[in-house]
Amino acid sequence: MLFKQQALLRQKLFVLGSLAIGSVLYLVARVGTLDRLQPICPVDSRLPTPEPEQIPLRTLQFKRGLLHEIRKGNATKEQIRLHNLVQQLPQAIIIGVRKGGTRALLEMLNLHPAVVKASQEIHFFDNDQNYARGIDWYRGKMPFSFPQQITIEKSPAYFITEEVPERIFKMNSSIKLLIIVREPTTRAVSDYTQVLEGKERKNKTYHKFEKLVIDTNTCEVNTKYKAVRTSIYTKHLERWLKYFPVEQFHIVDGDRLITDPLPELQLVERFLNLPSRISQYNLYFNATRGFYCLRFNIVFNKCLAGSKGRTHPEVDPSVVTKLQKFFHPFNQKFYQITGRTFNWP
Ligand code: A3P
């Protein structure tokens, strides 16, 4: 009897043990199956598309050394292929305005690890000869970059050249457009100063600003003078608005970029959907230069060339007032269209 009971117990224990081992084996097999399923639906593909904040900025900052070497012509084709470097069409263009601070804006944005600048003005869209060379020629003028970076170029002539908006639209109708403006009379004087310096370099004489800017027959502002026409921002912008909605433009205050650049740059970062990475560390005031200069890191900093920040000639105050009155209604329209108001007279 006792023997029978013991045999029954052993049988029960055997069944229970088998069930337990079976369950463990099933679980191991199931987990294994799950593991094998992963390649069919990789975890990566189920993650949301990376937001701009997720751009691996530290890595990009580190890799910029390589981009610098490439610019100097020191990189091999193998390195370019290995690092997956590309020449991308610009995702944003600084279209103007001449003497608004276009160089300073481009160089300062280039402080951002996710931004790569085309160093030279390309003049692709405003120069018929260049435009005829085609889009691949334009792409070939772009710097090498990592695919996560954005490329920016600046050619201030774009803003005032009739054919440009349509040409840019044909390339990329959703491109971001940056316009940096200064108080229009100051900008006109700056424009004149640049031309004057060019003449003086060639030992040529040139008219005084007052003579160019005022029509001697009518004593009114000479609207045929290019420096005056360029400062009528609203006229040019209205041509652009036939192709692009106003949301695709960002207006930068060029006067504030001189005195306090960081807040202006932060607004541009936001417009470009970039995480805020340019900091006060990157910008330091150089008293000798009288301008902010750029600090990339502990060893590399630079100021803009001496051709940026020239001393302007004295202008007859009555002419200044006349110009300011002339620009006033155009400025009002510009504020209205862009939604950005300035304290211009
Ligand atoms: P001025 O020479 O009249 O002072 P652009 O690059 O479009 O030609 O604009 C030139 C203007 O950029 C200069 O005009 C200068 O005032 C302005 N600017 C803005 N920030 C500057 C900076 N950090 N260093 C030098 N010039 C700067």
Is pLDDT above 70 for 72? no
Residue stretches of the annotated binding site: 99-103, 182, 190, 292, 308-312
> Which of 258, 308, 315, when mutated, tests ligand 1's pocket best, judged by the most ligand atoms within 8 Å of its CB?
308
Is the peptide bond prior to 97 cis by the omega test (within 30 degrees of 0)? yes
Q: How confident is the model at residue 335 (pLDDT cuts 50, 70, 90)?
A: very high
Q: How confident is the model at residue 77 (pLDDT cuts 50, 70, 90)?
A: confident
- Architecture of domain 57-184+231-309 in this structure: 3-Layer(aba) Sandwich (3.40)
Tokens matching residue 317: 């105050």
Determine the distance from the C-alpha atom of residue 86 to the mean position of all C-alpha atoms in its chain, rounded to a whole number: 17
Q: Are 105 and 252 in contact (CB under 8 A)?
A: yes
Distance between CA atoms of 189 and 194, rounded to whole angstroms?
Answer: 9
- From residue 57, alpha-carbon distances to 61, 116, 148, 221, 265 in Å are 6, 13, 9, 50, 17
% of the chain residues with pLDDT over 70: 79
- Mean pLDDT of the 236-251 span: 98
Q: What's the gap in Å between 315 CA and the centre of ligand 1? A: 19
Catalytic residue among 4, 12, 63, 99: 99
Phi (first) and psi of residue 162, to 5 degrees:
-50, -45
Q: What's the gap in Å between 100 CA and the centre of ligand 1? A: 7
Q: What's the gap in Å between 270 CA and the centre of ligand 1? A: 23
pLDDT value at residue 25: 45
The 10s digit of each residue's pLDDT in 184-230 is: 999 999 999 999 999 999 999 999 999 999 999 999 999 999 999 99
Q: What's the gap in Å between 202 CA and the centre of ligand 1? A: 23
pLDDT value at residue 79: 76
Does the beta carbon of 99 lie inside 6 Å of ligand 1? Answer: yes
The 10s digit of each residue's pLDDT in 15-69 is: 555 555 555 444 334 333 333 333 333 333 333 434 444 556 655 665 566 677 6
Does the beta carbon of 230 lie inside 6 Å of ligand 1? Answer: no
Q: Are 97 and 233 in contact (CB under 8 A)?
A: yes
- Mean pLDDT of the 158-173 span: 98
Query: Between 161 and 68, whose confidence is greater?
Result: 161
Q: Which residue's CA is the closest to the ligand 1 atom numbered 20? A: 258
Does the beta carbon of 308 lie inside 6 Å of ligand 1? Answer: yes
- Please state the atom number of ligand 1 nearest to the C-alpha of residue 108: 23
The 10s digit of each residue's pLDDT in 87-142 is: 999 999 999 999 999 999 999 999 999 999 998 999 999 999 999 999 999 999 99
Q: What is the pTM of this model?
A: 0.83
Sort 31 into a burial class: Cβ within 10 Å, 0-12 / 13-18 / 19+: exposed
Distance between CA atoms of 330 and 345, rounded to whole angstroms?
Answer: 12
Q: Classify strands 176-181 and 249-253 as parallel, antiparallel or unpaired.
A: parallel
Opening angle at CA 86, ends 266 and 81, nearest 5: 135
Query: Could you please report the per-residue DSSP string of 27-82?
Result: HHHHHHHHHHHTTTS-HHHHSPPPPGGGS-HHHHHHHHHHHHHHHTT---HHHHHH
Q: pLDDT averaged over the chain?
A: 86
Does the beta carbon of 239 lie inside 6 Å of ligand 1? Answer: no
Query: Between 164 and 35, whose confidence is greater?
Result: 164
Q: What's the gap in Å between 7 CA and the centre of ligand 1? A: 99
Residue stretches of the annotated binding site for 3'-phosphoadenylyl sulfate: 99-103, 182, 190, 292, 308-312
pLDDT value at residue 84: 83
Does the beta carbon of 252 lie inside 6 Å of ligand 1? Answer: no
Distance between CA atoms of 289 and 292, rounded to whole angstroms?
Answer: 8
Q: Which residue's CA is the closest to the ligand 1 atom numbered 16? A: 309
Q: Are 233 and 334 in contact (CB under 8 A)?
A: yes
Look up 99 and say whether it is catalytic: yes
pLDDT value at residue 23: 52
Tokens matching residue 88: 């991308």
Contacts of 280 (CB under 8 A, 6+ apart): 262
Q: What's the gap in Å between 107 CA and the centre of ligand 1? A: 11
Does the beta carbon of 139 lie inside 6 Å of ligand 1? Answer: no
pLDDT value at residue 215: 95
- Please state the atom number of ligand 1 nearest to the C-alpha of residue 190: 3
Query: Between 49 and 179, whose confidence is greater?
Result: 179
- Domain locations in the chain as residue ranges: 57-184+231-309
Does the beta carbon of 96 lie inside 6 Å of ligand 1? Answer: no
Does the beta carbon of 103 lie inside 6 Å of ligand 1? Answer: yes
pLDDT value at residue 170: 98
The 10s digit of each residue's pLDDT in 255-302 is: 999 999 999 999 999 999 999 999 999 999 999 999 999 999 898 999
Q: Classify strands 86-87 and 144-145 as parallel, antiparallel or unpaired.
A: antiparallel
Cβ of 295: how many Cβ atoms within 10 Å? Answer: 17
Q: How confident is the model at residue 83 (pLDDT cuts 50, 70, 90)?
A: confident
Three-state secondary structure call for residue 180 = strand
